């Protein structure tokens, strides 16, 4: 193979990563304001041009996909892909509250009221083993907490947190565990793995 063909192949090859984003990190590589923030580049030696596909808030944790391929990023963000979150909430969440979440609840968005789309939600009876968060949530003496799973395919600003607050159980900790068919599994906080591609398509989605 001639040297020009080798260079062309190198230019065409892209890299894809799965990250367990820790608490306290922005889902970006550059922060232009003066205030010091923790950025993704501090977690791993990502190649130049790596971008996060979507985002997780600074105080959220869990599954984040990254790629050097802008087309892949655009394709995934444009699809209605299910995103599942495990949330630790203030108080013992009830089945009634779960049913409300599934039907849709009213939240504030862009200064107006918005009814969330029907979604999947369930109680989590066994406490997930995600380890200790970077910042302590609170002392147990301040009352009990519980866990629930919420799966949505829309991405309004801080939507899941607003949803649990709307049914009377504010979110204390939020961890994304799945994007389509890509799962967090046992990936530890701050850990990165490189993959060949992202198969994010939901089980019920059919190629068109």
162 in Cβ contact with 154 (< 8 Å)? no
Alpha helices for the chain (secondary structure H): 3-12, 70-78, 95-103, 159-166
CA neighbor of 66 nearest in space, from 6, 24, 25: 25
Considering the candidates 57, 69, 203, 207, report the single residue annotated as catalytic.
57
Q: Which two tokens stand for residue 124?
A: 């989590």
69 is catalytic: no
58 in Cβ contact with 26 (< 8 Å)? yes
CA-CA distance, 59 to 206, in Å (whole number)? 34
Q: Which two tokens stand for residue 144?
A: 């009990």
Active site residues: 57
């Amino acid at each position: 193979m001639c040297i020009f063909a080798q260079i062309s192949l190198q230019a065409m090859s892209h890299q894809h990563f799965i990250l367990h984003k820790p608490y306290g990190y922005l889902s970006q590589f550059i922060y232009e304001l003066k205030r010091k923030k923790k950025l993704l580049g501090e977690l791993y030696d990502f190649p130049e041009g790596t971008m996060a596909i979507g985002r997780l808030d600074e105080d959220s944790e869990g599954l984040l996909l990254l790629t050097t391929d802008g087309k892949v990023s655009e394709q995934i963000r444009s699809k209605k892909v299910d995103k599942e979150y495990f949330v630790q909430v203030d108080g013992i969440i009830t089945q009634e509250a779960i049913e409300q979440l599934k039907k849709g609840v009213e939240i504030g968005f862009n200064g107006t009221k918005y009814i969330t789309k029907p979604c999947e939600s369930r109680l989590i009876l066994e406490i997930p083993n995600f380890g200790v968060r970077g910042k302590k949530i609170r002392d147990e003496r301040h009352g009990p907490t519980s866990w629930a799973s919420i799966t949505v395919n829309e991405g309004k600003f801080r939507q899941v947190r607003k949803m649990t607050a709307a049914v009377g159980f504010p979110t204390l900790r939020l961890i994304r565990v799945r994007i389509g068919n890509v799962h967090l599994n046992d990936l530890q906080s701050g850990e990165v793995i490189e993959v060949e591609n992202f198969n994010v398509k939901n089980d019920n989605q059919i190629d068109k």
